[in-house]
């Protein structure tokens, strides 16, 4: 029987997954505009423009569902529109892409999937609520809490080359991060080994201060070290500043122990080196 994946909000991580799926999978993806739809159709993906087109027929036909849609002020828009249809579906696997922001601030300490969810930011609170709302539907749900995502087209090199990169210094600040190809392989491993109700942290092995990553990118490029700027006085957008409101190290043992994942890029050094090789 042909497997059919509906990918709602078919973004950066979801596109990486679909590149790994076998050729006999049928893939239905939603995007917001015809401009974004064209290259997807060229790659053999069926595309629906949503919000706009009706997703009910695709939901009814799907064996697998992945949603990358961010919750809004009124909750999760997918659930708001299609909760009843999702409950009537016949899914083998459902994946929800969340964020490690649901854990809140831990002053640089370690968290794992059993850590209580105590988000402080609006984004983290909305994600926690969305996770709970999806869990209430009694679907074969798998939650993936993603750390900071980087990969082809998303890395520090462009800013370092332009001379606009800065090393924002906040004492004790650490972030976990993950390469998009590792997200894709975790999702594929979960599809192959379903465990409904599971939550997985998706991150590398090396939580690190953000200024170290920028410095290493400059070193790889052979360019001057970007200037250090104190967090308290840095000119930052509210969105950028909010990322520094929380500091934690995220454990990833479960993706290795349960899913058998071996990270392609276990730290930012390996990931950045691969990105630079790809550019060249």
**Burial grade of 270 (CB within 10 A; 0-12, 13-18, 19 or more):** middle
Residue-averaged pLDDT of the chain:
96
* Distances in whole angstroms, Cα of residue 1 to Cα of each of 21, 25, 62, 130: 15, 10, 12, 32
Q: Assign domain 4-150+178-204+250-264 to a CATH class.
A: alpha beta
pLDDT tens figures, 95-154:
999 999 999 999 999 999 999 999 988 999 999 999 999 999 999 999 999 999 999 999
Residues in contact with 164: Cβ distance below 8 Å, sequence separation at least 6, in sequence order: none
The percent of residues above 90 in pLDDT, for the chain, comes to 91
pTM of the complete model: 0.96
């Amino acid at each position: 029987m042909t497997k059919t994946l509906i990918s709602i909000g078919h973004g950066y991580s979801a596109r990486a997954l679909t590149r790994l799926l076998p050729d006999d999978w049928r893939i239905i993806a939603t995007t917001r505009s015809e401009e974004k739809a064209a290259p997807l159709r060229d790659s053999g993906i069926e595309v629906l423009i949503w919000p706009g087109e009706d997703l009910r027929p695709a939901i009814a036909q799907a064996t697998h569902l992945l949603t990358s849609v961010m919750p809004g002020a009124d909750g999760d828009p997918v659930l708001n529109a299609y909760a009843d249809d999702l409950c009537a579906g016949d899914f083998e696997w459902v994946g929800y892409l969340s964020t490690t922001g649901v854990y809140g601030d831990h002053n640089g300490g370690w968290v794992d999937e059993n850590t209580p969810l105590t988000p402080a930011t609006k984004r983290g609170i909305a994600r926690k609520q969305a996770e709970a709302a999806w869990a209430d539907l009694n679907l074969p749900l798998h939650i993936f809490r993603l750390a900071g995502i980087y990969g082809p087209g998303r890395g520090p090199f462009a800013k370092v080359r332009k001379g606009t990169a800065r090393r924002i210094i906040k004492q004790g600040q650490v972030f976990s991060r993950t390469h998009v190809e590792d997200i894709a392989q975790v999702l594929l491993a979960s599809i192959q080994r379903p465990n409904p109700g599971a939550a997985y942290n998706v991150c590398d092995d090396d939580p690190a201060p953000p200024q170290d990553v920028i410095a290493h990118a400059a070193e790889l490029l052979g360019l001057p070290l970007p200037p250090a700027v104190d967090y308290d006085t840095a000119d930052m957008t509210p969105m950028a500043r909010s990322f520094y409101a929380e500091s934690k190290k995220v454990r990833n043992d479960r993706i290795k122990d349960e899913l058998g994942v071996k990270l392609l890029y276990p730290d930012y050094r390996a990931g950045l080196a691969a990105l630079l090789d790809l550019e060249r």
